[in-house]
Chain A
Amino acid sequence: MRVWELYNYWIFILLMMIGFYTIIAKPNLVKKVIGLSLFQTAIFMFFISLGKVEDGTVPVAVSFATAYSNPLPHALILTAIVVSVSTLAVALAIIVNIKDAYGTIEEEEIHKAQED
């Protein structure tokens, strides 16, 4: 098994899974949003590392460079980062409204308040 070449992917998977666990196991709503942010950023790192070229340089055309890193994943992730902060803002606004309506942001207490 090519552990030496693949361990980077496994570290990204570990970061992704920490975020995933935070989303599904923690009852506090803001904690879930923090986990979502962890998850998204780990996926961005996965994409960017796919585009790295050994001995390549930044994808800006200069006269002394021999190889460039791939600019296409960078373009994808630039869009994704800005979209992720937009969804973060909307999620936090909805959480503020939930707090106004139910008085709490713990998931179990919200379920109890909804059954009443």
Chain B
Amino acid sequence: MPGFILLNDFLLLLLIVTSLVALHTRNLLGAAIVMSLYSFLMSLVWLNLDAVDVAFTEAAVGAGVATVLFIGALVLVGAEEKGRPRIHWPAVLLVGLTAVALAYGTLDMPAIGDPQAPVQTHLAPQYIAQNVRKISASSADPAGHGAAPGATGTQGRASDYFHGHVPNMVTSVIVNYRALDTLFEVAVIFTAGVSLVLLLRGRGAGS
């Protein structure tokens, strides 16, 4: 636990410094590179918090693709921010009030890492128990796989959330239990590609 805290605090300090640099610098190309560094540090923080799938995605997407998109767009629009650097005091007031309100809301929250927090005891133990039991049970035992999909349990649905023996719990949740959500998420990505084609293809050909 002390090693975790030390690494966590060091990385959070670096993150605060990086975000202040991204806020303050007026050369937008430098800000894009600093955002890439911010994404990479964030991915390390998540790795420290045992979130490897999320860290992988953020490193690939945030520190990779997003930087390429930023630099590409900055080449097209110009990379210097105009105007004098000045502090916008009404914005600072609003941000301060929001921060105080949010901090007041965190006073009731459980400590980080608490195994008895409500988020750990409500639904997650059932997912985890099903995955671990399926791994330890041999795959030659079809009777241990839960109710067939046609038959429903006493609560009106099959008694197990999913049948398979897939070790990665996050992939199980995303692709199996919540497969419909992931279908529409892929549709969102596809829509982003279509939007870019509609907005930008044909710029070089004249109006």
Contact = CB atoms under 8 A, between A and B. Distances in A.
A–B: direct contact at CB < 8 Å: yes
A59 B82 contact: no
A59 B169 contact: yes
A30 B28 CA distance: 8
Interface class of chain A by DSSP: helix
A66 B66 CA distance: 37
A21 B90 CA distance: 10
B65 to A, nearest CB: 6
Given A17-B98, A53-B115, A62 B167 contact: yes
Interface in A76-116: 77-79, 81-83, 85-90, 92-97, 99-100, 105-106
A28 B57 contact: no
Interface stretch (B71-79, B139-147, B148-156): B71-79
Contacts of A10: 103, 106
Contacts of A48: 46, 49, 51, 54
Nearest to A51: B119
Interface in B109-147: 109, 111-115, 117, 119-120, 123-124, 127-128, 131-132, 135-136
Contact of B95 (A21, A50, A97): A21
Interface in A29-70: 30-31, 34-35, 37-38, 41, 44-45, 48-63, 67-70
Contacts of B20: 18
A93 B195 contact: yes
Nearest to B195: A90
B203 to A, nearest CB: 7
Q: Name the interface size band of chain B.
A: 35 or more
B23 interface: yes
B91 A34 contact: no
Contacts of A20: 95, 98
B95 A96 contact: no
Interface string A1-32: 11001101111011111111110111110110
A83 B187 CA distance: 10
Contact of A75 (B15, B83, B173): B173
A28 B49 contact: no
B180 to A, nearest CB: 12
A77 to B, nearest CB: 5
B42 A70 contact: no
Interface string B56-90: 01100110011001101110111001110001100
5 contacts: A72-B124, A75-B173, A75-B174, A85-B65, A89-B195
